[in-house]
Structure formats: C-alpha cells, structure tokens
Structure 1
Amino acid sequence: MVTPTHLIVGAGFAGSVCARELAEAGKQVLVVDKRPHIGGNAFDVRDAQGVLIHPYGPHIFHTNSKRVFEYLSRFTDWRFYEHRVLAQVDGELLPIPINRTTINQLYGLELGKDQVQGYLDSVRVPCERIATSQDVVLASVGPDLCEKFFRGYTKKQWGLDLSELSAGVAARIPTRTDDDDRYFGDSFQFMPAQGYTAMFEKMLDHENITVRTGTDYREVLDGVAGAHIVYTGPIDSYYDQCHGALPYRSLSFEHVHHADTPLQQTVGTVNYPNDHAYTRITEFRHLTGEQHSGTSLVYEYPQAEGDPYYPIPRPENEALFAKYREMADRESGVTFVGRLAQYRYYNMDQIVAAALKAMEDHLAPAGA
C-alpha cells in the first residue's frame, strides 16, 4: 500500500465523505473503522430472512440542501419516501408531529384549518425566555399535549425530564395547523434505492482509498506517521477523557421477524411515549419498499451505557465539550468532524455538509 497522506477514523457519513473528497484531490487515504463494516450507524444489511434492515435503528434521509442531495446522488439512485409516524396515546394511534388531525381525534373536535392556531394559542403557556425543551413544548402546545406526547418519550429517550434538556431538542419537532402528516417537511425526502451500504461502497470505491474494518485506529498509527488524521469518533475518547467523560445516550435494539405475515403497522414508525420500555417500533419494508412474504421490525430501547449515539444537549455538557474543542482547535494535524467529534445532534445531511465544509477548509491553499 502507498503510504497514506491521511488517516480517516470512522467509515460512516463523516469519514466516507472526507475520504472521497481527499481521494479526488489526489491524496492517499486509509480509512479504518473498529466495527466489522462500513457505513457507521447507517449500515444496512439483509437479515436471516432476506429483509433489508438497519441494525442500528432506522435511518431516513431528508434534507433541504440541494448540494448535499446532489453530492450523494453521485453514489446512489433514490427511492422517493416520505416518513410517517404515529404515536400511541390514550389507546389511539395519532399523527406526530402534532397536526389538525391529531388534535381533532384526541379531543373529539372538528377544528377547521383556520381554527387550529387559535386553539393552540388558547392552551399554550407563553414563556418570555425559552431555555429548555419544556419551555418550547409548553409555549407551542400547552401542558396536556406536552404530557401526552413529549414528557414520557423524552424521559425514556434521554433519561432526563424536558426541563433538563436544551431547547433545541424539542425544537426539532414542528407543530402543524394543517393535515400534513409527514414526519419531515424537507424538500428532498428519499431513501437510497439499493440501501445505505451500497451507497457507502460506491463512495469509498476509489483507487486512492484503502479501507480496513475491524481495526482500531491506534493499531495503525505507527505505520502512518506524518499523516493528517480525520477523526469522527467521540472527541473525549481521542483525548483519553482527560477533562472527564462527555455524556452520550445509547440504544439497544430488538429485531423481530414475522414470517408469512403482512405489514404489521400502517406507517413506518409507531412511537410509544407513555407505554412500554421501548420508545418506538419501526417496520423496515415501509422504508425500503421491498416485497417479502414476511416483515421485519426493530424495537428501540434507550439506555445510558453502550455505544455512543446521541450527544446530550445540556449547558453543562456544552461547557465540558468546549474544553475539548479548545484542545482540538490547537491541533494542526487532526480534523474533527461528525456528530460525536463535534458533539452535535446532527442529522445525516448535516454530517455530510459538515464533512464537505471541513475538507474544503483543509484542502484550501494556505492563505486562501
């Protein structure tokens, strides 16, 4: 192998985009990932029954960025897919995000589209200073909808009350006054037609890229002396948690297959904000559009320990991250990019955008 100019730590979205950009710029790139596969948490694979599943939970692509969509389109065809989610509340399955249908069904009302905002204004709790996710929800939909849809789900998902999370978490979920029942409102809503893993394979298929899975990056450092490192793992781990461990939320998954049965759910995902230990059930054939005699689902159980999935947005965690970011800013031979490296609750498209920007900056001529 040619001596690499760059070592990429992690073969998920951030690492794979960086690797491709560097390779096309003529750099020699070694990509390593401690897992036995590429794709990071977006990795997909066929289960024992032949159904394409996401082992690390559902990944639904959506973006408003034409640039990100066109970039990924180089490596995949797309299947149009608009994700829909129902929440089980008071024994009913109701659309989430909350819309006119949700309110009318839940309360037995017949609000017209021009009446929904007035109803919400009548129940919401105005807040002069929005500081927490509780402030966001109460100011948007009031206390009853907060309790029915948000507080229990948040407690399970994050292990924290709404009042203990930064405002940005709840702000990710809109409230609608019409009947739009799509989970996302983005301009581009598609799934990779052949799956995420196939997309990553094409992205990493370049003569200047070498991929080694099942490999901890520390195992190869001696052989890549002088190479610039692109690090996409947890930033606190890179620095041996010298300032203390950054909190992350983890997940465990229970995958279930039902043989010779039709689809079990009417939509891709059903949330359980107040019942059961799991937060949601996703049925993969909705996402992929594949035909099969049976169906495969995944139950998600949030937990404190395990692989890091979500940075936990709280002011004290941001303050701790700032200490690591100060160290990272002083590094000349390392670029930190991605959800874990930047301690940001990024969506997939945001990770792609961050990786493209990081490589633009890195490859820019000195002084440019």
Structure 2
Amino acid sequence: MFDYLIVGAGFAGSVLAERLATRSNKKILIIDKRNHIGGNAYDHYNEEGVMVHKYGPHIFHTNSKEVFEYLSNFTDWRPYEHWVLASVDGQHVPIPINLDTINKLYGTNMTSFEVDAFFESQAEEVPVIRTSEDVVVSKVGRELYEKFFRNYTRKQWGLDPSELDKSVTSRVPTRTNRDRRYFTDTYQAMPLHGYTKMFEKMLDHPNIKIMLNTDYHDIINVIPFKEMIFTGPVDEYFDFKFGKLPYRSLEFKHETLNKEWHLEAPVVNYPNEHLYTRITEFKALTGQQHPKTSIVYEFPRAEGDPYYPIPKPENAELYNKYKKLADETPNVHFVGRLATYKYYNMDQVVAQALTVYKKLTEKEKEEKGTAKPAKPAITGSATLMEKLLPRDPDKKKA
C-alpha cells in the first residue's frame, strides 16, 4: 500500500514526492508516461556529447528565496542571465525592446529620455486593456507591434494578438535603458550538472518508487494507494466530460553542427520570417565546452503534447467546469501547469507544489487532532504563489 500515487515526474510531482517521502515519511509511487523523469525540463547528452534540452530551452529564474533555496538542496548552480535577439528588418536586435533596439532599428542615437518620449509619441490610447494587442500598442505603438509581436504571436498561438488575453504579451517588458536581460529576477541560474541530475537527486529516497513508460490508467486498479496527486491534463482525468481544453503544442528540430558556435545570442527569435519561432544554442545556456554545438528549432503546432494553455475567456470558463469537478473529487490533488490549466514558470510550479505539501501536512494534523489553531490571516508560504504570479498592470492598489 502506497500513501500516494503521484502521476507525472516533472517539477510538481517530483517536489511533492520528495517532501512527502523525506519530511512526512510517506510511501510514494511516482509514475510517468515518458521514459524519463524531469518532465519538459529533461536534459541529456546527445550522440555527439552535447547537453541538450529535449523539449526546448528551460531557463531558471525566480524572485522566491524559498524556491531557490529548496532546489539548492539538489543542485549546485551556474550563474546565468538570459538574453535574446530578434531578427527584424534584416537585423538582429535585442528583445525585450530597449534603447539599443530602437537605436539600431532606426539608425538613431537617442538617450533614455528621448526613447521614452519616442514610445509615448508612438503609443495608442486604449481605454481598457483587454487583449495582447492592447498591451503592446498602448506602450509602443502600432509599428513596433507589427515588427516584433503580431506575427510571432500568430505563429506561437495560432491566433491574432487581438484574440488573446492580455497576459500573453504582458510578460514581455519594454525598457528605456540598455538592459538586455530577458528576466530581471533576483535569482537567475542554471543547474550546474543539468535538470535531470537535479531530479535524480530529488527522487533518490528509499520511500520513493519510480515507474516510467506507465499510464496511470493501467495501474490505478492494480496497485493500492491512499491518495493521488495528479499533474496531467485535468480534462483527461475526467475523460473529457465537457470537451477538450485547448493547448498549443511544439515540434522540435534538433541539429548538431560541426563548429564551436552558431548564434550571436543564446536564443534568436524570428517574428516575421520562417515557420519556426526561435532557435536556441544550448552551450550558451549550460556553459559546456565542446568543439561542436547543438541547436534546436521550435515549430508551434495545433496538435501534439500539451504545452501552452490558450488564454481566452471561453477556455477559462471551460476549465472552471473541470476545476469544480476536481475540487469535489476526494483524495485526488491536482497540481501543476496541466492539472490547473495555467501557464506557470518552473519556479511557480515548485512554489505551488510546496504550498500543496504544507496544506497536506496541515490536513493530516487536523485529522489527528494535533493541528495548531488557525491564524487569522494567511501569511508566509501560503502566499508564495501569489508573490510569483504576474501582477495585473490594470489592478489598482487598495
């Protein structure tokens, strides 16, 4: 008898397996359909000996000290600040848009004050920010929107930005300085020996048993367990009762080249030309020294493994139907991007899993009658996810 069956060996499942095994002495069976642990963060050495991320680049960044210190139990880190170039008008320029982007694009020599005024002169007045198009044109105007955002979004999502929730392009800032960093989080680093090694250490405990190449449907009535943690697609769990939740997928084309370096930057985006959205060069991320280099092209797809929940109001409404079922399902806990139909970064999934673990332990204490009296306000780790979620720029402070 296992205390927990955990479906999915990505961040959500692995963090909960580790906490429940090491801190609560629970017996865990963690399973995955794939032939490896680590979920989409899985990395490995290819046939040429270059470390690659099988499912596209995974760049770790967080503002949460708790999340960073937790993962530091399982890996040393390589400091790394991510930066990206975009291929626009025959040039490679920084993205997010910054001072250097504008000066290079237009052949100008503006200062930070001048480029700020330039953005203001280009921006369109949008009374209510609802869509991804609204976000961009209200900040930098129509021309830069067309050059950098519209076609990239169309390729990535299969939808025009005017059809997508504002959250999609709100993730990308616009800067008036020369800061080329893609992220500005407090902690930015890559696992020194890769994500897979980190997951291996996380799951290395006698209380944890791992089964790969395993669909939970095949064992759910065979292997006894008390509770389930489900990190797969929530609509799949309920046999698509209300219909399928829409996702965008990706196809990856990996290549190893017989030269030391290929790109000018770790990632180059292609908003307008080519069917792919970006190319990544892995050695720039990992710091590996190798005479050859490995790159990956990303092609967005409508069908395939679910990667990105599509942020549209009707999809949120459909998810809420599944959420109601999930909340009413006893002894099953839905955690992670697919199970909660949210586009979480890696650190947000870790934060969610840590928060769920604390709730599980509190629940167990209550059932045993050993819980401390509830505090009048939620504090500390209970608000960890709130701290990591993107803020709504239109939401006024109370």
TM bucket (normalised to shorter chain) is over 0.9
- Is 1:15 the equivalent of 2:2? no
| Aligned residue type for 2:149 | F
2:125: which partner in 1? 126
* 3-state DSSP of counterpart to 2:169: helix
- Is 1:105 the equivalent of 2:104? yes
1:288: which partner in 2? 286
| Aligned residue type for 2:288 | E
* 3-state DSSP of counterpart to 1:267: coil
Shift of residue 21, structure 1, vs aligned partner: 1.0
Q: How many residues align?
A: 365
Shift of residue 214, structure 1, vs aligned partner: 0.6
| Aligned residue type for 2:108 | L
Shift of residue 343, structure 1, vs aligned partner: 0.4
Shift of residue 331, structure 1, vs aligned partner: 1.5
1:345: which partner in 2? 343
1:5: which partner in 2? 3
Distance in structure 2 (CA, Å) of the matches to 1:46 and 1:83: 21
1:161: which partner in 2? 160
* Superimposed CA distance per residue, residues 193-227 of structure 1 (whole angstroms, 9 cap, x where no aligned partner): 00000000000011111111111111221234442
* Superimposed CA distance per residue, residues 31-67 of structure 1 (whole angstroms, 9 cap, x where no aligned partner): 0000000000000001110000001000000011111
- Is 1:146 the equivalent of 2:145? yes
**Percent identity between the aligned chains?**
56
TM-score scaled by length of structure 1: 0.98
| Aligned residue type for 2:95 | I
Could you list the runs of 4 or more consecutive aligned residues of structure 1 that deviate by over 6 angstroms after TM superposition?
none
Distance in structure 1 (CA, Å) of the matches to 2:191 and 2:264: 22
1:44: which partner in 2? 43
- Is 1:171 the equivalent of 2:170? yes
- Is 1:72 the equivalent of 2:71? yes
| Alignment of structure 1 residues 189-228 onto 2, 5 Å | 189-228=188-227
Shift of residue 115, structure 1, vs aligned partner: 2.0
* 3-state DSSP of counterpart to 2:321: helix
Shift of residue 124, structure 1, vs aligned partner: 0.6
| Aligned residue type for 1:353 | A
* Superimposed CA distance per residue, residues 97-156 of structure 1 (whole angstroms, 9 cap, x where no aligned partner): 000000111111211112222111110112111111010011111100000000000000
2:321: which partner in 1? 323
| Aligned residue type for 2:94 | P
Shift of residue 262, structure 1, vs aligned partner: 2.1
* 3-state DSSP of counterpart to 2:241: coil
2:389: which partner in 1? none
| Alignment of structure 1 residues 262-281 onto 2, 5 Å | 262-281=260-279
List alignment gaps of at least 5 residues for structure 1. Answer: none
Shift of residue 358, structure 1, vs aligned partner: 1.0
List alignment gaps of at least 5 residues for structure 2. Answer: 375-398
1:355 corresponds, among 323, 347, 353, to 353
* Superimposed CA distance per residue, residues 168-196 of structure 1 (whole angstroms, 9 cap, x where no aligned partner): 01000011110000111111110000000
Distance in structure 1 (CA, Å) of the matches to 2:87 and 2:175: 18
Distance in structure 2 (CA, Å) of the matches to 1:337 and 1:225: 21
| Aligned residue type for 1:30 | L
- Is 1:242 the equivalent of 2:241? yes
1:89: which partner in 2? 88
* 3-state DSSP of counterpart to 1:207: coil
Q: What RMSD over aligned residues (CA atoms) do the two structures have, in Å?
A: 0.9
- Is 1:307 the equivalent of 2:293? no
8 Å CA contact 2:235–2:244 kept in 1: the answer is: yes
Distance in structure 1 (CA, Å) of the matches to 2:87 and 2:3: 52
Distance in structure 2 (CA, Å) of the matches to 1:128 and 1:313: 21
8 Å CA contact 2:5–2:225 kept in 1: the answer is: no
Distance in structure 2 (CA, Å) of the matches to 1:71 and 1:192: 13
* 3-state DSSP of counterpart to 2:338: coil
* Superimposed CA distance per residue, residues 221-247 of structure 1 (whole angstroms, 9 cap, x where no aligned partner): 123444211000110000010000000
8 Å CA contact 2:15–2:354 kept in 1: the answer is: yes
2:62: which partner in 1? 63
* Superimposed CA distance per residue, residues 43-98 of structure 1 (whole angstroms, 9 cap, x where no aligned partner): 00011100000010000000111110000000000000111100000000000000
